[in-house]
Structures are given as structure tokens and as C-alpha cells.
Amino acid sequence: KAKAILFDLDGVLTDTSEYHYRAWKQLADEEGIPLTKEENDAHLRGVGRRDSLMYIIRGRNYSEDQIQEMMKRKNDYYNKLIEQMSPSEVVPGGRELLQEIRQAGLKSAVASASKNCRTVLERLQIIDLFDGIADGNSVVNGKPAPDIFVFAAGLVGTPVIDCIGVEDADAGVEAIKTAGMYALGVGPKERFKRANKVVPTMENIRLQDILAD
């Protein structure tokens, strides 16, 4: 019996995963490094800032100073892209789903690797619909490590076994499964190795769709 639902943010509740990709793509182009959408989905989706950059520059020699500068540059591009975000960019039906969860007496939390998580939640005006927020400042080990989901479960006082995690990234589903939770994958079926259930998008997903086997 599920007691809490823990949501990834980027690519689940809103399409900011597209903005992350665009920001990385601009940086990669400037550095003359090839980066495709397919690589993004397989290696960058849901992965933290530094780990993402490490994938992009793999096999090339950059100093720590250059790495820091590139992380900052990407984040500046990303911040430009989210500056204009408005409440209309919540996935259709997302706000209703969060209200439904609350009405059903279940807890909800965000489990996002992003340090920009709170800014995005504020722009979307959904911050008050969550009982807990775990973001890129909460834990050291990023997804696929289970830490962020375990931390989010703790925030809402729910044993991991009673939590459902929702993720659009395979690294995120790995994190959820390693945490000992039920995993709902969002995206094409082929993307996920260990999801308990997969839906193509969160659009108009109701609590019933999440809870039914």
C-alpha cells in the first residue's frame, strides 16, 4: 500500500530536461564536441551537473579550472532558459494529480538532482503542493545512487517500501529500485531496465494510474 509518491522534476513534472539538453548542446558546440539527442537520453538525462560534463568531455584533457568554468557556463545558459518559465509549463494534469495525492492522504515529495530545483518549482508555482523537497543540495551521491530517494522518503517520514518513485531517466529508475521502492518510468519502454511500470508521459496521469498494477 503506497503512502508516498516521490517525483523527479526535470522531464517528469515539466519539460526542463529539454532545457538542460539545449544548454549542454550549446556548450558542447562551443567546445567542438559532438553531442546527440540520443546520447543525451542515454547518458545525461537525470544525471548531475558534474557527471554530465564528465560524460561530454570524456577522453579529453581539461583542467579543474576549465571544468568549473564549463559547469558555470552551462548553468548560465540553463538559467537563461528557465527565466521565462511560467505556471503553464507544469505538465497538463500535473497540478490536479498533486492535489489528488494530497486529498487521498498520501505524501508527496520532489527528488531532483538539480540545484535549480526550487527556482523551477517557484516559477511553476507548485512548491506548496509538496510535503518535502530533496534537490541537488541534499545528498552527495547522484543518481543512479539511491541516496536522493531515500532522503526524500525520510523528509516525508515514510519507509522506502511504502514509496513510489517517478522518473523519466534510467539512472533515476535505477536509483529508485536500489532504494527499495516501486518505480514508475516516464518515457519510451525501451529506456528503462528495471521499471515496475512505464507510462509514455505524465500528461493527464491520475493517482489511479499510478497505484493500479
Catalytic residues: 8, 10
- SS3 (DSSP) at 105: coil
Look at the alpha carbons of 69, 65, 20, 22 in this order and tell me if their dihedral is positive or negative.
Answer: positive
Per CB under 5 A, the segment of 41-49, 139-147, 191-199, 200-208 that binds Mg ion is 41-49
- The dihedrals phi and psi of 10, each to the nearest 5 degrees, come to -65, 120
CA–CA distance, 114 with 98 (Å, rounded to integer): 20
Give yes or no for residue 191 binding ligand G6P (CB under 6 A): no
CA–CA distance, 34 with 122 (Å, rounded to integer): 34
Near ligand G6P by CB under 6 A: residue from 18, 100, 136, 162: 136
Give yes or no for residue 158 binding ligand G6P (CB under 6 A): no
Per CB under 6 A, the segment of 41-49, 122-130, 159-167, 204-212 that binds ligand G6P is 41-49
The distance of closest approach from Cβ of residue 54 to Mg ion in the complex, given in angstroms and rounded to an integer, is 18
Residue 146 near residue 179 (C-beta atoms within 8 A): yes
CA–CA distance, 208 with 171 (Å, rounded to integer): 25
CA–CA distance, 142 with 112 (Å, rounded to integer): 10
Give yes or no for residue 48 binding ligand G6P (CB under 6 A): yes
The distance of closest approach from Cβ of residue 96 to Mg ion in the complex, given in angstroms and rounded to an integer, is 21
Tell me which of ligand G6P, Mg ion, none is bound by residue 136, counting a contact when its beta carbon lies within the kind-specific cut-off of 5 to 8 angstroms: ligand G6P
Per CB under 6 A, the segment of 46-54, 122-130, 155-163, 197-205 that binds ligand G6P is 46-54
Q: Is 119 exposed, middle or buried (0-12, 13-18, 19+ CB in 10 A)?
A: middle
Residue 152 near residue 166 (C-beta atoms within 8 A): no
The distance of closest approach from Cβ of residue 14 to Mg ion in the complex, given in angstroms and rounded to an integer, is 10
Question: Judged by CB under 6 A, how many residues of this single chain contact ligand G6P?
Answer: 17
The site for Mg ion (CB under 5 A) is made up of 8, 10-11, 46, 168-169
The site for ligand G6P (CB under 6 A) is made up of 10-11, 17, 20, 44, 46-49, 52, 75, 112-116, 136
